[in-house]
Amino acid sequence: MKEIVITNDNFTKEVLEAENTVLLDFWAPWCGPCKMLSPIVAEFAQKHPEVKVGKINVDEQPALAMQHNVMSIPSLMVYKNGKISNKSVGFQGIDALEALIR
């Protein structure tokens, strides 16, 4: 499955009302670790079509970042049934992403 851009406008539909697990990647274009994580998130999205993968640019969506108390990026959050079930901060390998959604 392809990554989707999450904004204030589509957050409720794409994340809170999602029927499957959602992995959110909070990132910014100037963030070095975010750039390193991006291809891993893309690989994860390809390997796990059953998981919706959303990307939130914290510079463009500051309200979503504040709502989720994102203090450091990259931050990853997993939503299941409209609620956060897991989260992590910092660079993660593909194995850590897979463990995060379990």
Mean pLDDT, residues 69-85 taken together: 96
Q: Which fold has domain 4-101?
A: Glutaredoxin (3.40.30)
Percent with pLDDT over 90 in the chain:
97
State the Cα angle at 63 between 59 and 67, rounded to 5°: 125
**Of the candidates 19, 22, 21, the residue with the CA atom closest to the CA atom of residue 6:** 22
Q: What is the pLDDT of residue 61?
A: 97
Query: CA–CA separation, 34 vs 6, rounded Å?
Result: 16
8 A C-beta contact, residue 58 and residue 41:
no
Q: Quick check: 16 pLDDT over 90?
A: yes
Q: What is the pTM of this model?
A: 0.95
Question: pLDDT-based confidence at 23, cuts 50/70/90?
Answer: very high
- Catalytic status, residue 56: no
Mean pLDDT, residues 16-28 taken together: 96
- Catalytic status, residue 34: yes
Radius of gyration, CA atoms only, the chain: 12
Q: Quick check: 2 pLDDT over 90?
A: no
List 24, 34, 37, 58, catalytic entry: 34
List 31, 89, 94, 101, catalytic entry: 31
Question: pLDDT-based confidence at 20, cuts 50/70/90?
Answer: very high
Q: Quick check: 6 pLDDT over 90?
A: yes
